């Protein structure tokens, strides 16, 4: 199981140092949630902030675009240092063109689905994707409870294309990561359970151990 701490739960006044801290504590990827205040009812940061903190780690930047028009901004996020770019199938941009733009720019394309969106929506694009992100909470805010019934989507995607990576995001902690692992999740986004822990390194280690005990 790969762990991608979400900086949404970090101390924004120390963002560069928080990214570095996650690197030193054993994070596999760094998850960066971009919200535009339209697609989701929250506003976070954009490409300039990601570019500013890129120098604090060599770990892959896993950029989750919760924005209306991802295609329009793909060049900005590629320039900022995104290694993986995830956009929502529910967004306004054409999925084929968005995937192509991410690939052309040298990053890995991924698609996310909200809790109310069927897994089948992403099936036409699976052969072009690096990863599918199954939201296990409603996107927009951290600290929500894990929706176990979303694991059916994970199984459906894996059944259709067993080799694709599936990521789960929302409500991931020691008590839920085993359920995710058992369903076939490969990458878990963890926010509060890592950033707010007394010992982030131990928290990441505990998450991985709990995933292995599935």
First to last CA, the chain: 11
133 Cβ neighbours under 8 A, 6+ residues apart? 64, 86, 110, 111, 112, 113, 166, 167, 168, 169
130 Cβ neighbours under 8 A, 6+ residues apart? 84, 108, 109, 110, 164, 165
Q: Name residue, tokens 């036409």.
A: 124
**Phi then psi for 108, rounded to 5 degrees?**
-100, 125
Catalytic positions, written as ranges: 33, 169
CA distances for 208 relative to 46, 95, 98, 201, 205, angstroms: 30, 33, 32, 11, 5
The CB density around residue 203, as the number of other CB atoms within 10 Å, is: 22
């Amino acid at each position: 199981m790969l762990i991608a701490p979400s900086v949404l739960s970090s101390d924004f006044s120390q963002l560069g140092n928080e990214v570095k801290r996650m690197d030193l504590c054993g994070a596999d990827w760094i998850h960066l949630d971009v919200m535009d205040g339209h697609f989701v009812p929250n506003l976070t940061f954009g490409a300039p902030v990601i570019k500013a903190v890129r120098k604090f780690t060599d770990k892959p930047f896993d950029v989750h675009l919760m924005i209306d028009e991802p295609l329009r901004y793909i060049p900005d996020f590629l320039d900022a240092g995104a290694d993986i770019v995830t956009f929502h199938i529910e967004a306004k941009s054409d999925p084929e063109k968005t995937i192509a733009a991410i690939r052309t720019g040298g990053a890995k394309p991924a698609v996310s689905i909200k809790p109310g969106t069927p897994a089948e929506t992403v099936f036409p694009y699976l052969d072009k994707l690096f990863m599918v992100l199954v939201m296990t909470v409603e996107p927009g805010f951290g600290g929500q409870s894990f929706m176990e019934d979303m694991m059916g989507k994970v199984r459906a995607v894996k059944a259709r294309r067993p080799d694709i990576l599936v990521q789960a995001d929302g409500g991931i902690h020691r008590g839920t990561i085993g359920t995710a692992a058992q369903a076939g999740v490969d990458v878990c986004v963890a926010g509060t359970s890592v950033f707010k822990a007394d010992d982030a390194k131990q928290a990441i280690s505990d998450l991985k151990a709990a995933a292995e005990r599935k």
